[in-house]
Amino acid sequence: LKPRIAQKEVTLHILKTFGLHMSKKLGQNFLIDSTVVDGIVAAAKVSEGDPVLEIGPGIGTLTQGLAEAGAEVTAVELDRRLLAVLSKTLAGYEHVRIIHGDILKIDISREINKEKYKVIANLPYYITTPIIMKFLEERFPVELLVTMVQKEVAERMVAKPGGKDYGALSVAVQYYTEPEIMFIVPPQAFIPPPAVESAVIRCTVRSKPPVEVVSEKLFFRVVKAAFAQRRKTLTNALKGGGLNKETVDGMLSEAGIDGGRRGEQLSLTEFAAVANAWAKRTS
């Protein structure tokens, strides 16, 4: 057994051996707490032979945990300097393939050509949400995503109607998946420690959406308009979204929704009712 990379001394030793300076620009904060690595592997329910796409392996900290749990890992790393490091730190793990590239640019389906796979990522926080949304919207054959995100973002993803955290991100994530906050991760679990608390979130992809939507395009247009100006009533927010008052009033009355309410109070079912009433008008 190799020593675990998720330890401060081991990580510092690797950085020193390779003369590596971490890149702030690429959001490089490496995990140094093996309980967090184990928690992520457990959250992803990894078992022998599971295909896993790991995004941003860094020096291989999480990759090692995944490989030891028996996953067949395809890991995509953007920082070219890390390729030589990874080939050393992960030497001996047979079922690990490292690819150099930007996850937002590579042809993902070509690199991981599996019927179903899991996505695991500890990425720079500014690109985590766009990456999660890309996998969901483009309907890659992913069964679950386990990612490290800023704690506030995790709270927004799982938020229910009525609170300040509930927004377009909550609706979108809950439309495609069942999100759960698995555990909170303190800054000291990384070097260098980030300025914020983090959370590991598991999004289990639904086999079908929880609400029936005639047009997804209209559904997300309604959601976007409703939250674009969240202090406005639904009627005014939808009017701001480019519809005239008559259409808005007609749609809302057909959907059985009081236009004086605010978007932040609407459930997915209610958003779907509004969007379906709109779809009926445009068909």
Contacting positions for ligand SAM (CB under 6 A): 26-31, 55-58, 61-62, 76-79, 82, 102-104, 122-124, 127
Task: Give the Cα separation of 29 and 34 in Å (integer).
Answer: 15
Q: In angstroms, give the least distance from the CB of 31 to ligand SAM.
A: 4
State the Cα–Cα distance between residues 277 and 241, nearest whole angstrom. 16
Provide, rounded to whole angstroms, the least separation between the CB of residue 15 and ligand SAM: 11
| Minimum CB–partner distance for residue 21 and ligand SAM (Å) | 12
Query: Two tokens at 47?
Result: 């078992």
Closest approach of Cβ 43 to ligand SAM, in Å? 14
Q: Which residue is nearest to ligand SAM (CB)?
A: 56
Q: What one-character DSSP code corresponds to residue 241?
A: T
Question: Which CB, 119 or 255, lies closer to ligand SAM?
Answer: 119
Distance (Å, rounded) from C-alpha 19 to C-alpha 9?
Answer: 15
| Nearer to ligand SAM (CB atom), residue 34 or residue 247 | 34
Return the number of the residue (26 or 168) whose C-beta is nearest ligand SAM: 26
Q: In the complex, what is the shortest distance from the CB of residue 105 to ligand SAM, in angstroms, rounded to a whole number?
A: 8
- Contact (Cβ atoms closer than 8 angstroms) between residue 46 and residue 71: yes
The smaller minimum CB distance to ligand SAM, of residues 108 and 237, is found at 108
Name residues whose C-beta falls within 8 Å of residue 233's C-beta, 6 or more positions apart in sequence: 259, 260, 261, 262
> For residues 67 and 222, which CB has a smaller minimum distance to ligand SAM in the complex?
67
